[in-house]
A and B are shown apart, each in its own frame.
Chain A
């Protein structure tokens, strides 16, 4: 390593209640590095960087910048020191324009300099450099998530940050936006800035890091130059033991008589539109569905689940029309497992306990009067089997983190044999081990003959596990075919509306 470190974290300790978020962490950051900070959910990556940014104060340990130990560190001081951080939650005012949001970021601008021309020109130049296609007069609320992230980055750059911390920046982006982010990181490095890139995706690491630091349970457990380490070593360091993380793709279905048929489907609703959609799925087949969010996925999932009545066309499962049922009572049929997106809003009742939430699909099976928890033993068993933490069935669902809620829903939906599984982004917010468990359970259903409709933004996983892939764009099937006929770039192009060309 060259010369003296620019930023140095020494013997950092931080506790939150019972949890040791960081214990005795030492990390030196040298000039001209791009560090990937890698680790599972809850490994302490974000905490460590928030300490460096001054958002938290360490319980013990020192932060040294250019040889000077910091006293009374704060985000304000970070600004002066040139430390900028991109948080997972954006700090933008939706009702203001892009330009106004950028100007707001300057702490010292007194009100009479609000429209100061110099500042405006500087800020606009900065935005121009990293995102020439964003109109500074547009309102932030009209921007996509990816564009909002770019505005946040412009804010950091306008403040002339020398150390840029990115907290899981690729979690919310489309493949094209991810590419642009990688270019941004490369640009930062070329400008002599230091970047710390928090992630749990190996693809991110390979694309832009010069050095990889792996954290597990609040400690640094590995520190390599990118070219000297293999993916397997990284995974092993992240999860702590040698687990076969790669699930095998299950054998494609043998008999190809369709089990699920979608015929001339047309939907126009507030959750999205679907136009003239036709496809069939065989028993045991995994159909992966790719697309930029908001291109009809939600409507399609709800129609398949029988809870949105289409304008025309029908969905037939095992010879029974799902939508004909929906005209009587709106209900997901018992032989369908439905894992909707955002479980907190769509799949659980936050105020009710875990045991009751596990029973939601089978309320009729409960006795009319009930004094204790419903099916307590079964609930305890399911919670343990799916590693939902904390696993106390008396807790209310609102107390669980996003990833654990996802596990709770999966425990409810995939614990019994079904004929059709509709899984919308089932691994969102899950770490590697939990992701593997979800895939195993999902594909076990296929092995027993269920059709799997699997919406995902993890293109690599879709390509690895699906039998066929369907790409949605603007509520239409942009392309559907066996997985062998797709690759990342082709899916990316189809997702953004480019026709068959490849």
Chain B
């Protein structure tokens, strides 16, 4: 009993120690003092209110993108389309916000809805292609990412560009009422609350509802679906719609709260980070909540390190990759060494 308990704590503990080791090794390799840099990372990501606010601001889109991967993954679909869905959601949400420059506060839900709908549409394309034509979802989401990102570029360089900006590619600023409220003077915005509520709702739906059970059955043994009257086509499209919707919400909330206008670059790798978070969390929304926070901290720290310690910001991507790779390798170890973290 006690031994089980120790084991349970020990294994994730080992994983964390290993991750820290990987980070230290990385700093040694790029010729920086490892312990000092690691300490800086901690302070730059959660040392004071400003850092914490940066971390939480980055946590928000990562969490949205992670949830957008988790829902399809519960049907066994591997979506890498968070990034594209996020861009398209930002695009349609921006469109709604800019339609009504003098709108009242009612524009907020309308804008969020438009963003969700745009993301859902983008995810839905993949769902329909998969359900009706058998197109592999990983390929189609991957390619649609480029289409979504370039679509935004096309609009902000062209038709939607604010001429008052001179050469700067961006739309007009959002009307005041279309900017998501922030918490005091920080960067933490309503999007984080929405994402956290959605994570809890998804936790309940996926683990305790009849719908979650249907997804489990379809994923584990599609042959049984006919016994239960489950419709794999409908569910495939549904999970992609829901996934796209979540990423789309992430996109519009980011643009509205943080950037205030649509620009060619909205995301600093949130789609990728969300994907990694989803798989590290074993497709559990509540675990994704915690891991998204850690990845948010990593991104926030990398931003600051770039400014203050001349470490390239791309380090964050390298570290994310290393952490993910470490988890993958550990998962391949003999079972007594494996961390019960990933497999579920």
Show the binding face of A for B, using Cβ within 8 Å: 305, 307, 329-332, 338, 345-352, 356, 360-361, 363-364, 366-371
> Is there contact, CB below 8 Å, between A361 and B209?
no
Q: Which of B144-152, B212-220, B332-340 contacts A (4 or more CB under 8 A)?
A: B212-220
B167 within 8 Å of A (CB atoms): no
27 examples of A-B residue contacts, CB within 8 angstroms:
A329-B229, A329-B231, A330-B226, A330-B229, A330-B231, A331-B226, A346-B223, A346-B224, A347-B224, A348-B221, A349-B216, A350-B221, A351-B220, A352-B216, A352-B220, A360-B217, A360-B224, A360-B227, A360-B228, A361-B228, A363-B217, A363-B229, A366-B210, A366-B213, A370-B208, A370-B209, A371-B208
Instruction: Give chain B residues whose Cβ lies under 8 Å from the Cβ of A345.
Output: 221, 223
Contacts A346-B224, A366-B210 supplied; 17 other A-B pairs, CB < 8 Å: A307-B226, A307-B227, A330-B225, A330-B226, A330-B229, A330-B231, A331-B228, A332-B227, A345-B221, A349-B224, A352-B220, A356-B213, A363-B214, A368-B210, A368-B211, A369-B204, A369-B209
A330–B222 alpha-carbon span in the complex (Å): 12
> Is there contact, CB below 8 Å, between A349 and B217?
yes
B230 within 8 Å of A (CB atoms): yes
Closest residue of chain A to B223, judged by CB? A346
Instruction: Give chain B residues whose Cβ lies under 8 Å from the Cβ of A369.
Output: 204, 208-210
A369–B231 alpha-carbon span in the complex (Å): 20
4 shortest interchain CB distances as A-B pairs: A331-B229, A307-B226, A349-B221, A349-B220
Instruction: Give chain A residues whose Cβ lies under 8 Å from the Cβ of B204.
Output: 369
A369–B224 alpha-carbon span in the complex (Å): 22
Instruction: Give chain B residues whose Cβ lies under 8 Å from the Cβ of A367.
Output: 210
A347–B213 alpha-carbon span in the complex (Å): 16
Q: Could you say which interface size class chain B belongs to?
A: 20 to 34
> Is there contact, CB below 8 Å, between A348 and B226?
no
Contact string against A for B residues 90-126, beta-carbon threshold 8 Å, 1 for contact and 0 otherwise: 0000000000000000000000000000000000000
A362–B213 alpha-carbon span in the complex (Å): 12
> Is there contact, CB below 8 Å, between B208 and A347?
no
Instruction: Give chain B residues whose Cβ lies under 8 Å from the Cβ of A356.
Output: 213
A371–B220 alpha-carbon span in the complex (Å): 21
A350–B217 alpha-carbon span in the complex (Å): 10
Closest residue of chain B to A302, judged by CB? B226
Interface of A, helix, strand, loop or mixed by DSSP = loop
Instruction: Give chain B residues whose Cβ lies under 8 Å from the Cβ of A346.
Output: 223-224
A366–B209 alpha-carbon span in the complex (Å): 9
> What is the CB-to-nearest-CB distance from B225 to chain A, in angstroms, rounded to a whole number?
8
Instruction: Give chain B residues whose Cβ lies under 8 Å from the Cβ of A350.
Output: 220-221
A329–B228 alpha-carbon span in the complex (Å): 10
> What is the CB-to-nearest-CB distance from B273 to chain A, in angstroms, rounded to a whole number?
29
> Is there contact, CB below 8 Å, between B229 and A368?
no
Instruction: Give chain B residues whose Cβ lies under 8 Å from the Cβ of A370.
Output: 208-210, 213
Instruction: Give chain B residues whose Cβ lies under 8 Å from the Cβ of A351.
Output: 216, 220
Show the binding face of B for A, using Cβ within 8 Å: 204, 208-211, 213-214, 216-217, 220-221, 223-231
A364–B211 alpha-carbon span in the complex (Å): 10
> What is the CB-to-nearest-CB distance from B314 to chain A, in angstroms, rounded to a whole number?
40
Closest residue of chain A to B234, judged by CB? A329
> Is there contact, CB below 8 Å, between B210 and A348?
no
A108–B334 alpha-carbon span in the complex (Å): 33
A366–B211 alpha-carbon span in the complex (Å): 10
Q: With A329-B231, A371-B208 in contact, do A348 and B213 touch (Cβ < 8 Å)?
A: no
> What is the CB-to-nearest-CB distance from A346 to chain B, in angstroms, rounded to a whole number?
5
Instruction: Give chain A residues whose Cβ lies under 8 Å from the Cβ of B213.
Output: 356, 363, 366, 370
> What is the CB-to-nearest-CB distance from B249 to chain A, in angstroms, rounded to a whole number?
23
> What is the CB-to-nearest-CB distance from B35 to chain A, in angstroms, rounded to a whole number?
44
Instruction: Give chain A residues whose Cβ lies under 8 Å from the Cβ of B208.
Output: 369-371
Most chain B CB neighbours (cut-off 10 Å) among A349, A352, A360: A349
Closest residue of chain B to A365, judged by CB? B210
Closest residue of chain B to A364, judged by CB? B229
Instruction: Give chain B residues whose Cβ lies under 8 Å from the Cβ of A352.
Output: 216-217, 220
A58–B208 alpha-carbon span in the complex (Å): 48
Contact of A363 among B210, B221, B223, B226 (CB under 8 A): B210
> What is the CB-to-nearest-CB distance from A310 to chain B, in angstroms, rounded to a whole number?
15
A363–B211 alpha-carbon span in the complex (Å): 10
A381–B224 alpha-carbon span in the complex (Å): 23
A370–B231 alpha-carbon span in the complex (Å): 21
Instruction: Give chain B residues whose Cβ lies under 8 Å from the Cβ of A329.
Output: 229, 231
Closest residue of chain B to A362, judged by CB? B228
Closest residue of chain B to A370, judged by CB? B208
> What is the CB-to-nearest-CB distance from B285 to chain A, in angstroms, rounded to a whole number?
16
Instruction: Give chain A residues whose Cβ lies under 8 Å from the Cβ of B221.
Output: 345, 348-350
A350–B221 alpha-carbon span in the complex (Å): 8
Instruction: Give chain A residues whose Cβ lies under 8 Å from the Cβ of B223.
Output: 345-346
Most chain A CB neighbours (cut-off 10 Å) among B211, B216, B217, B231: B217
Instruction: Give chain B residues whose Cβ lies under 8 Å from the Cβ of A361.
Output: 227-228
A470–B309 alpha-carbon span in the complex (Å): 83
> Is there contact, CB below 8 Å, between B226 and A332?
yes
> What is the CB-to-nearest-CB distance from A279 to chain B, in angstroms, rounded to a whole number?
23
Closest residue of chain A to B221, judged by CB? A349
Instruction: Give chain B residues whose Cβ lies under 8 Å from the Cβ of A348.
Output: 221, 224
> What is the CB-to-nearest-CB distance from A335 to chain B, in angstroms, rounded to a whole number?
13
Instruction: Give chain A residues whose Cβ lies under 8 Å from the Cβ of B209.
Output: 368-370
A116–B204 alpha-carbon span in the complex (Å): 67
A364–B225 alpha-carbon span in the complex (Å): 13
A198–B66 alpha-carbon span in the complex (Å): 55
> What is the CB-to-nearest-CB distance from A330 to chain B, in angstroms, rounded to a whole number?
5
> What is the CB-to-nearest-CB distance from A373 to chain B, in angstroms, rounded to a whole number?
11
Closest residue of chain A to B232, judged by CB? A330
A189–B273 alpha-carbon span in the complex (Å): 70
A369–B213 alpha-carbon span in the complex (Å): 10
> What is the CB-to-nearest-CB distance from A409 to chain B, in angstroms, rounded to a whole number?
10
A161–B223 alpha-carbon span in the complex (Å): 44
> Is there contact, CB below 8 Å, between B230 and A363?
yes
Instruction: Give chain A residues whose Cβ lies under 8 Å from the Cβ of B226.
Output: 305, 307, 330-332
A329–B229 alpha-carbon span in the complex (Å): 7
> What is the CB-to-nearest-CB distance from B218 to chain A, in angstroms, rounded to a whole number?
9
A105–B204 alpha-carbon span in the complex (Å): 56
> What is the CB-to-nearest-CB distance from A164 to chain B, in angstroms, rounded to a whole number?
38
> What is the CB-to-nearest-CB distance from A400 to chain B, in angstroms, rounded to a whole number?
15
Closest residue of chain B to A413, judged by CB? B227
Instruction: Give chain B residues whose Cβ lies under 8 Å from the Cβ of A347.
Output: 224, 227
Instruction: Give chain A residues whose Cβ lies under 8 Å from the Cβ of B230.
Output: 363
Instruction: Give chain A residues whose Cβ lies under 8 Å from the Cβ of B217.
Output: 349, 352, 360, 363
A364–B231 alpha-carbon span in the complex (Å): 13
> What is the CB-to-nearest-CB distance from A266 to chain B, in angstroms, rounded to a whole number?
21
A305–B204 alpha-carbon span in the complex (Å): 34
Instruction: Give chain A residues whose Cβ lies under 8 Å from the Cβ of B210.
Output: 363, 366-370
A218–B230 alpha-carbon span in the complex (Å): 45
> Is there contact, CB below 8 Å, between A338 and B227?
yes
Instruction: Give chain B residues whose Cβ lies under 8 Å from the Cβ of A349.
Output: 216-217, 220-221, 224
Q: With A352-B217, A368-B209, A369-B209 in contact, do A363 and B228 touch (Cβ < 8 Å)?
A: yes
Instruction: Give chain A residues whose Cβ lies under 8 Å from the Cβ of B229.
Output: 329-332, 363-364
Instruction: Give chain A residues whose Cβ lies under 8 Å from the Cβ of B228.
Output: 331, 360-361, 363
A367–B214 alpha-carbon span in the complex (Å): 13
Most chain A CB neighbours (cut-off 10 Å) among B208, B211, B228: B228
A363–B224 alpha-carbon span in the complex (Å): 12
> What is the CB-to-nearest-CB distance from B11 to chain A, in angstroms, rounded to a whole number?
22
A445–B224 alpha-carbon span in the complex (Å): 23
Instruction: Give chain B residues whose Cβ lies under 8 Å from the Cβ of A368.
Output: 209-211
Most chain B CB neighbours (cut-off 10 Å) among A346, A356, A363, A364: A363
